Structure 1
Amino acid sequence: MKNLTLLCLLIIASIVFKSHAQTDDEVLKTIYTSSLTEGESYNWLNYLSNQIGSRLSGSLGAERAVQYTKEELEQLGLSKVWLQPVMVPKWIRGAKEYAYIETVPGKTSTVNICALGGSVATSPLGIKAQLVEVHNFEELEALGKEQIEGKIVFYNRPMQADLINTFQAYGGCVNQRYKGAVEAAKYGAVGVVVRSMNLRLDDLPHTGSMTYDDLPVAQRIPSVAISTNDAETLSTMLKLSKDVKLYFKTSCKQLNDVQSYNVIGEITGSEFPNEYMVVGGHLDSWDLGDGSHDDGAGVVQSMEVLRLLKKAGIKPKRSIRVVLFMNEENGLRGANKYADVAKQKGENHVFALESDSGGFTPRGFRFDCDEANFNKVLSWKELFKPYLIHYFEKEGSGADVGPLKTDKNVLAGLHPDSQRYFDHHHASNDTFDAINKRELELGAATMTALVYLFDKYGIK
């Protein structure tokens, strides 16, 4: 009789539990409500941006950001939090750069420039030379050494304005920044000035990484970015006279590598603890602003994913990690180190999501996966419809999660509205005042929702 009574109670309890189990749309509603009404992402970013500031790899700011985010993750009551050592490059900008255009001897006008990350410095006296304007490497090759030697190469290919996908426009011209110095040095150029990667006409130069490949140190030439307004002015002056000269002076320096860290926190899975899901952004930034959009937003949104899951009482089946990667901007050392260690340990990473496109209104996700998993994602579109999340495309994921790719897992990247992103990208106005609290929180909730669904249903 006692056994029969116990069985009846268990059946009743099961029925009651099932009747109270939340549906997926109810869980998503809880997640979005929590993020928008009691979120922490905006407060975290406020501290990261305004109390710590820029976080260039190897800098004091980067070191302080590691300690701050580790301490905040420890307060969330995760299963474990740890630092993963990684050696990173240390490049310093030095004194503020200075430049002017000289139309005739003694007649000058100052312009706005900044050194590109990784560039060598000019001599202490700076350099002054005539310019050669080109739009691509083919034009450079056509001019040849005879017309380039001893001059400054001016790369002036703008981002393509009619491309709605601004990241596609960025990709279409960023090679002049990254490899411009290497290509110009082949023909005897003494320096390089590159039009900033920016769709807006303004006075702000945008920095970014560049490379010398294996070019000997003695053959490396200084490389700077110029604001879009000044690029327009310079191009107009060159059309009027080929005798226009540019002077610029930089004081940057490449030092020896230093140790830094990836910051990692984990909620260990209740059913499949050896299946790992990663959500992350990069903790480093460039040094002109405070890196709020690139990528402070991604950092705090990723931290918020774990907090929101715990707040909603969701106990993940799989182990979910937040990884704050170091050195995305000028080396990807953190991403490669994390992937290398995961491979050495034989860890099975089934899913990874990155936020590194700014803190603007979320529109959806980019996916790097097979058709079966992409069709699974498409079946969830109705769940995201109330939040105006409609963009689900197979077109890649993100730089930091890329090294985790296998032929079986799913990689994803948050896709915010990108129309204003390159107004701030790598520039001095990438600051906290450019962040909209609600947009940031919507992004954090959107990421949490996707992580929840992939954890619940797994991958195919």
Structure 2
Amino acid sequence: MRILGLIMFLAVAMGFSQTSDEKQIRAIYSSTLTEGKAYDWLNYLSNQIGGRLSGSIQAQQAVEYTKKQMDSLGLDKVWLQPVMVPKWVRGTPEFAYIENQPGMTNNVPICALGGSVATPGVGIKADIIEVKGIEELKELGRSKVAGKIVFFNRPMDPTLIKTFEAYSGCVDQRYSGAEEAGKLGAVGVIVRSMNLRLDDYPHTGSMSYGDLPVDKRIPAAAISTKGADLLSTTIKLNPKVKFFFRQSCKQYNDVESFNVIGEITGSTYPNEIMVVGGHLDSWDLGDGSHDDGAGVVQSMEVLRLMKVNGYKPQRTIRAVLFMNEENGLRGGNKYAEVAKSKNEKHIFALESDSGGFTPRGFSFDSSDANLERVLKWKSLFEPYLVHVFEKGYSGADIGPLKDQQIVMAGLVPDSQRYFDHHHAQNDTFEHVNKRELELGAAAMASLVYLFDKYGILPN
């Protein structure tokens, strides 16, 4: 009895039981690496359904497919949660060129930004002015901007090892550039793609007009990084260069869609809910394999791993496949709204929305006490080369759940290649490595297991 008491005391002091937890985590990794379903699910989502733009037929097909797959896992409950989402359609392929002088043009790859208005049917051709950001645009003022196309050309900072920091450092020009340029009388906006690589893929993404009246809204498009460099060089050589682009995108009325939710009910504390999730919608240029098909199938795999390993969770574990993260966050907000209306108690939420690359660790939005205990679990993950446990951002869709009592986490994969594919035509299935995808799912399931077994510490 004394030995048993000592073992229990040490387990509490360390924050985990070394031997039993090592064994359980080893089983999780073995199961997904030998009989995992995530890669097959992603294959269907990507190659049979394709890009899943919010409000599209493909998004609805993805809802139906993932619900069917979760139904097949023998979960305690699977359901659809209705949510109204925006419906924006790209239309016919965009077209653009640089005109040095009449008859002398160079075509460049562009794509409309999500939520943009269309150009007139014949397109727009105007003088173009290059700026490095919104502040520089404002300094120029209306007299130098009115009637022109504004070219935002601030690149991602290549010196930042954490590429999401580089993305955050320049994405404001994509999101708010058209709003600010429209206020100054510009007729259009072209934005350098958020990409660290030089290539011919334009990268789309969400943008906003703020409170601009409809008649003041101007079309906005992204240009590939190689196209941006060519345009910038051309402007330096010939400041009188003109730019032409044409796009036919359109915003429709909101339509009904769904979050897809699967649940294993807790055996001991069923009212304590743990969420693992990713977003089911994607942009339409590729098939959304990394963003965020990977997170969707990894979240489903977490529940499957619990079932096939015979693990009976103490707490309720849900996989939530959120709709409309890309251009509205309606799914994340709806899930949190319903949870609040039902007085549900969420103690932990984990999101995967950084691609299906090799997992490096997790970032945590939590109290210092819970973070300190998580750090004691690092040794359990080190055999799997998962070593990053840090305080930081968790995820957009689980963000609305945040309060002082929940621990929130985000999977941190290697990010060096992520923005090569993000929101672009080459975000496709062949760029996801099966083993990397499965390792990410196993890391997520292992973390969920530990939080289920030990709960969270009070603040």
TM-score after normalising by structure 2: 0.95
| Aligned: 1:163 with 2:149 | no
Q: CA RMSD in A?
A: 0.8
Runs of 4+ in structure 1 deviating by more than 3 angstroms, as ranges, are: none
| Aligned: 1:59 with 2:59 | no
Partners in 2 of 1:118 and 1:126 — Cα distance? 18
Letter in 2 for 1:218: D
Trace 1:391-410 onto structure 2 (pairs within 5 A).
391-410=388-407
Q: Alpha-carbon deviation of 1:458? A: 0.3
Q: What is the DSSP-based 3-state SS (H/G/I as helix, E as strand, rest coil) of the residue aligned with 1:442? A: helix
Question: Which residue does the alignment assign to 2:7?
Answer: none
Partners in 2 of 1:205 and 1:136 — Cα distance? 19
Q: What is the DSSP-based 3-state SS (H/G/I as helix, E as strand, rest coil) of the residue aligned with 2:271? A: strand
Q: Alpha-carbon deviation of 1:306? A: 0.3
**Which of residues 174, 180, 184 in structure 1 aligns to 2:181?**
184
Question: Which residue does the alignment assign to 1:10?
Answer: none
| Aligned: 1:320 with 2:317 | yes
Partners in 2 of 1:88 and 1:22 — Cα distance? 47
Letter in 2 for 1:121: A
| Aligned: 1:88 with 2:85 | yes
Partners in 2 of 1:453 and 1:152 — Cα distance? 54
Question: Which residue does the alignment assign to 2:12?
Answer: none
Partners in 2 of 1:366 and 1:182 — Cα distance? 33
Q: Alpha-carbon deviation of 1:408? A: 1.4
Cα distance per residue 1:262-288 (max 9 Å; x no partner): 000000000000000000000000000
**Which of residues 426, 429, 452 in structure 1 aligns to 2:449?**
452
Question: Which residue does the alignment assign to 1:23?
Answer: 20
Partners in 1 of 2:163 and 2:36 — Cα distance? 29
Q: Alpha-carbon deviation of 1:29? A: 0.5
Trace 1:368-383 onto structure 2 (pairs within 5 A).
368-383=365-380
Letter in 1 for 2:55: G
Question: Which residue does the alignment assign to 2:100?
Answer: 103
Partners in 1 of 2:253 and 2:332 — Cα distance? 20
Question: Which residue does the alignment assign to 1:199?
Answer: 196
Question: Which residue does the alignment assign to 2:296?
Answer: 299
Partners in 2 of 1:437 and 1:419 — Cα distance? 18
Cα distance per residue 1:21-54 (max 9 Å; x no partner): 9710011000001110110000000000000001
Q: What is the DSSP-based 3-state SS (H/G/I as helix, E as strand, rest coil) of the residue aligned with 1:179? A: helix
Partners in 1 of 2:62 and 2:432 — Cα distance? 19
Partners in 2 of 1:282 and 1:115 — Cα distance? 22
Partners in 2 of 1:313 and 1:376 — Cα distance? 26
Q: What is the DSSP-based 3-state SS (H/G/I as helix, E as strand, rest coil) of the residue aligned with 1:73? A: helix
Question: Which residue does the alignment assign to 2:39?
Answer: 42
**Which of residues 411, 414, 417 in structure 2 aligns to 1:414?**
411
TM-score after normalising by structure 1: 0.95
Question: Which residue does the alignment assign to 2:141?
Answer: 144
| Aligned: 1:277 with 2:274 | yes
Cα distance per residue 1:410-448 (max 9 Å; x no partner): 000000000000000000000000010000000000000
Q: What is the DSSP-based 3-state SS (H/G/I as helix, E as strand, rest coil) of the residue aligned with 1:357? A: coil
Partners in 1 of 2:159 and 2:363 — Cα distance? 21
Which has the larger Rg? 1
Trace 1:179-258 onto structure 2 (pairs within 5 A).
179-258=176-255
Q: What is the DSSP-based 3-state SS (H/G/I as helix, E as strand, rest coil) of the residue aligned with 1:306? A: helix
Cα distance per residue 1:54-76 (max 9 Å; x no partner): 10000000000000000000000
**Number of residue pairs matched?**
440
Question: Which residue does the alignment assign to 2:331?
Answer: 334
| Aligned: 1:134 with 2:134 | no
Q: What is the DSSP-based 3-state SS (H/G/I as helix, E as strand, rest coil) of the residue aligned with 2:437? A: helix
Q: What is the DSSP-based 3-state SS (H/G/I as helix, E as strand, rest coil) of the residue aligned with 1:114? A: strand
Aligned in 2, Cα 1:175/1:113: closer, same or farther, shift over 3 Å? same
Question: Which residue does the alignment assign to 1:121?
Answer: 118
Partners in 1 of 2:224 and 2:313 — Cα distance? 47
Q: What is the DSSP-based 3-state SS (H/G/I as helix, E as strand, rest coil) of the residue aligned with 1:444? A: helix
Q: What is the DSSP-based 3-state SS (H/G/I as helix, E as strand, rest coil) of the residue aligned with 1:23? A: helix
Letter in 2 for 1:174: V
Q: Alpha-carbon deviation of 1:118? A: 0.1
| Aligned: 1:349 with 2:346 | yes
| Aligned: 1:267 with 2:272 | no
Percent identity of the aligned residues? Answer: 70
Question: Which consecutive residues of structure 2, in runs of 5 or more, have no partner in the other structure?
Answer: 1-17
Partners in 1 of 2:238 and 2:390 — Cα distance? 48
Partners in 2 of 1:381 and 1:185 — Cα distance? 50
Contact 2:183–2:216 (CA under 8 A) maintained in structure 1? no
Contact 2:77–2:262 (CA under 8 A) maintained in structure 1? yes
Q: What is the DSSP-based 3-state SS (H/G/I as helix, E as strand, rest coil) of the residue aligned with 1:32? A: helix
Q: What is the DSSP-based 3-state SS (H/G/I as helix, E as strand, rest coil) of the residue aligned with 1:278? A: strand
Q: Alpha-carbon deviation of 1:134? A: 0.3
Letter in 1 for 2:402: K
Question: Which residue does the alignment assign to 1:18?
Answer: none
Letter in 2 for 1:61: Q
Partners in 1 of 2:79 and 2:437 — Cα distance? 26
Q: Alpha-carbon deviation of 1:112? A: 0.2
Partners in 1 of 2:135 and 2:449 — Cα distance? 48
Partners in 2 of 1:123 and 1:131 — Cα distance? 18
Letter in 2 for 1:83: L
Question: Which residue does the alignment assign to 2:363?
Answer: 366
Partners in 1 of 2:175 and 2:363 — Cα distance? 24
